[in-house]
Amino acid sequence: MHNLVELTRKRRGNVTMMWVAGLPVFAIVLMFLASLVIVWMAHSNSQVAADAGSVAATKKLDEWFQYELALKVQEKDNIGNENDQKQDQPSVEDPFAGVWINEVAREKFVQWVVSKHEEELTETVRDYVVRNGGNEHGVIVFPVNGRVMVQARTDFRPMMFQEEFKNTYIKGNGTGPTRYYLKWLPEKAIQIEY
């Protein structure tokens, strides 16, 4: 009976030693899990910023497309009116016929509108992405299924190994609403870095 009591006393110290030795392991596991949560939150933040940028880009493209299209139609009408006065015959044509004769002309028209306003588009997207928590650098890609896709990024700041992940970013993609004129372009035809 006396030997049994001595064995019990020796095991008490072993349990305490195991607990003390296990604390750093638990701390490392918890820091790893916390880093995963940080990645998840940063991705969510990037995605919100990308969504804001893509909606802003789509709105701007709508404005420019409608404006440039109205100018082209007005230009066509003015030319048509001059020809009508010379011929004294009313013209009943498709009002968009002068803007785009075929699919290639439609594609070139959309590309021309984008290239004309490219700098303003990048500034608008950058502004909305930064205001919504993203980094000021990313990519605008369109069309993606008839939509503008913005890729935004945020800095990755883990709880441990911060020096190893110094210039690491978490990326998120956001797409705006579908637009019929973006479907005229080949998929991912335009990529603009901002």
Alpha helices in 88-152, H assignment, sequence order: 103-116, 118-131
Q: Is 57:194 a contact under the CB 8 Å cutoff?
A: no
For position 1, what pLDDT does the model report? 55
* 3-class DSSP assignment, residue 4: helix
Q: Which residue has the tokens 């990519």?
A: 139
Burial string for 122-151 (b: 16+ CB within 10 Å, else e) reads bebbbebbbebebbeebbbbbbeebbbbbb
pLDDT of residue 79: 67
Mean pLDDT by 10 residues, the chain (194 residues): 59 72 90 90 95 97 94 76 51 53 86 95 97 95 96 87 86 95 94 96
Q: What is the 3-state secondary structure (H, E, C) of 8-35?
A: HHHHHHHHHHHHHHHHHHHHHHHHHHHH
Give pairs for 65-73: CB < 8 Å, separation 24+.
65/110, 65/113, 65/179, 65/181, 68/109, 68/112, 68/113, 68/116, 69/96, 69/99, 69/109, 72/98, 72/99, 72/109, 73/98, 73/99
Q: How far apart are CA 125 and CA 58, in angstroms?
A: 10
| pLDDT at residue number 19 | 81
Which pLDDT score is estimated for 92?
Answer: 47
pLDDT for res 110: 92
